DNA sequence: AATCGATGTGTCC
DNA sequence: TGGACACCCTCGAT
């Protein structure tokens, strides 16, 4: 096998990428070429933007758990569960969500986002250059930064090790799926390519059945045990595998998405080849993501053009909802992926307005859209005019009260205005005590993207 | 198999 | 300030 170096086929013209890059080696860590990383505190006030609610029913009532309990007790319609009341209360509260903190720690686009499974204000974010940051946004400067190789290092998938949350499973264009810690040590390499002709595109892990699954850009899916022993490696798709996801409850159920325009569901215990799937879901376009819902009962897929789908376990064969939504693919954009809220039947996804999309309206904004998973209806949009880029990645934290977004080079943290205000006061105090204060107020907005300003 | 076009975001001049 | 251009290997159409 050829060494992992530029190839004619790959059209790579730069020197071998595994060598230290003279241009990059002296660059401070973290940091952009000539721009220091930026860390921002959101404005958190009402003027910061608008969030548009499209709920039916009354407004202006404190939509809290108390409200939900009250509603439930009133029991207007018996089929409306307490859970549903809670979800409604949560949707109302989104009206008050603001950007709480921002960070722009990389010298390339953000490609990957993963919340810490237990620590509520900590997340890992990966970049196109292979950098990874572990960031606790509630504590100033509490970050770990693992430097990547630069060009060609792109992080394609991340998953915290469920058995040791100081470690991350990482798949990368640089040619490995491996387990690393935040000091940069490689604990184990699960698979590697010795060529730039293909690379790994996604990882998932099951603590229960102790397996690691990874997909590659040729359509192969590899199943390994936690010790790194390969169980099988099979070409399950005709084109690049874009996403692999294990069912959180049923750990032998695997979903794979591909640019071959299919999503396939597999029984891990009996995979023999391309056609041994349990279900196949043909799509209109290449598919970027297929996430099982937290309760394992649904599957959410995002294609590369203008469709989000919800499938239900009761009937995998046919989608429960086809949701039209503009999020077309573009070479220099991190593919947009819709994700589930961890507690409610809600879907979050970034909008990339498209004049050719059927529902296009002039002056459409690059919002974050929330859909109800059971009705398929859009319930709410989040928007901040100071962060007007396309928001490719959106994930709620495991608690479900904070949203992390990836917008180009930037990471945005959204939470409830009251919490934002309270916490920001504390942060600004600490900043000014440490001489980091910026006139005692938040960042000055930049015309395009506030987080880039410093 | 090879070529082309789409068209976001940041840097440099 | 605005325009050129890099990014670096994406995907669909031809």
Q: What distance in Å separates the CA atoms of residue A268 and residue A253, rounded to the nearest whole number?
A: 6
Domain boundaries, chain A: 100-430
Checking if the pLDDT of A288 tops 50, the result is yes
Residues 144-203 of A with CB under 7 A from strand C: 150-152, 154, 173, 196
Mean pLDDT of chain A: 81
Q: Any idea how long chain A is?
A: 454
DSSP string, A24-37: HHTS-SS--SSS--
Checking if the pLDDT of A83 tops 90, the result is no
The pLDDT value recorded for residue A9 is 25
The pLDDT value recorded for residue A219 is 93
The pLDDT value recorded for residue A141 is 72
DSSP string, A232-253: EEEE--SS-EEEEEE-SSSTTE
For A13-37, write each residue's pLDDT tens digit: 222 222 222 222 222 223 344 455 6
Report yes or no: A286 and A261 within 8 Å, Cβ to Cβ. Answer: yes
The pLDDT value recorded for residue A66 is 67
Give the mean model confidence (pLDDT) for residues A250-259. 94
The pLDDT value recorded for residue A21 is 23
Q: Does domain A100-430 have CATH number 3.40.50.720?
A: no
Distance A9 CA to B1 C1' (A): 11
Give the mean model confidence (pLDDT) for residues A424-443. 59
Q: What distance in Å separates the CA atoms of residue A401 and residue A408, rounded to the nearest whole number?
A: 23
Checking if the pLDDT of A279 tops 70, the result is yes
The pLDDT value recorded for residue A71 is 67
For A90-106, write each residue's pLDDT tens digit: 898 898 899 989 999 99
Nearest residue (Cα to C1') for B1?
A: A9
For A132-162, write each residue's pLDDT tens digit: 999 998 887 778 999 998 888 999 999 999 9
Is any atom of strand C within 7 angstroms of residue A15's beta carbon?
A: no
Protein-covered nucleotides on strand C (Cβ within 7 A): 7-12
Question: Cα A245 from chain centroid?
Answer: 13
Q: Kindly report the pTM of this predicted structure.
A: 0.82
> Residues A272-307, buried b or exposed e (16+ Cβ, 10 A)?
eeeeebeeebebeebbbbbbbbbeebbbbbbbbbbb
Checking if the pLDDT of A322 tops 90, the result is yes
């Amino acid at each position: 096998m050829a060494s992992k170096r530029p190839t004619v086929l790959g059209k790579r013209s730069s020197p071998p990428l595994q060598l230290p890059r003279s241009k990059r080696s002296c660059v401070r860590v973290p940091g952009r070429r000539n721009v220091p990383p930026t860390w921002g505190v959101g404005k958190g006030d009402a003027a910061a933007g608008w969030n548009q609610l499209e709920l039916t029913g009354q407004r202006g009532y404190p939509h809290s758990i108390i409200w939900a309990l009250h509603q439930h007790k009133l029991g207007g319609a018996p089929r409306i569960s307490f859970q549903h009341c809670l979800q409604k209360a949560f949707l109302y509260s989104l009206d008050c969500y603001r950007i709480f903190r921002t960070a722009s720690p990389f010298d390339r686009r953000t490609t990957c986002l993963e919340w810490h499974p237990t620590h509520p204000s900590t997340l890992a974010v990966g970049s196109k250059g292979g950098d990874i940051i572990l960031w606790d946004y509630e504590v100033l400067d509490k970050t770990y930064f693992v430097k990547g190789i630069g060009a060609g290092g792109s992080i394609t998938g991340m998953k915290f090790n469920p058995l040791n949350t100081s470690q991350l499973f990482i798949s990368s264009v640089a040619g490995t799926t491996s387990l690393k810690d935040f000091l940069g040590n490689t604990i184990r390499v699960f698979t590697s390519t010795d060529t730039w002709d293909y690379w790994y595109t996604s990882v998932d892990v099951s603590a229960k059945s102790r397996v690691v699954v990874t997909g590659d850009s040729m359509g192969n899916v590899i199943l390994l045990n936690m010790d790194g022993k390969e169980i099988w490696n099979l070409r399950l798709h005709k084109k690049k595998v874009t996403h692999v996801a294990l069912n959180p409850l049923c750990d032998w159920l695997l979903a794979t998405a591909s640019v071959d325009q299919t999503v396939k569901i597999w029984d891990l215990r009996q995979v023999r080849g391309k056609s041994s799937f349990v279900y196949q879901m043909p799509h209109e376009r290449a598919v970027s993501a297929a996430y099982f819902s937290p309760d394992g009962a649904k599957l959410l897929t995002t294609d590369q053009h203008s469709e989000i789908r919800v499938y239900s376990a009761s009937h995998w064969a046919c989608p429960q909802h086809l949701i039209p939504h503009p999020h077309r693919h573009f070479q220099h954009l991190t593919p947009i992926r819709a994700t589930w809220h961890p507690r409610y039947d809600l879907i979050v996804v970034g909008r990339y307005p498209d004049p050719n999309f059927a529902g296009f309206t002039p002056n459409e904004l690059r919002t974050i859209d929330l859909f109800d998973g059971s009705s398929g209806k859009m319930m709410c949009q989040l928007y901040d005019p100071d962060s007007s880029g396309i928001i490719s990645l959106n994930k709620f934290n495991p608690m479900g009260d904070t949203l992390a977004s990836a917008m180009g080079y930037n990471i945005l943290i959204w939470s409830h205005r009251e919490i934002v205000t309270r916490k920001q006061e504390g942060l600004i105090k600490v900043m000014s005590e440490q001489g980091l204060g910026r006139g005692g107020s938040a960042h000055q907005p930049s015309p395009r993207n506030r987080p880039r300003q410093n």
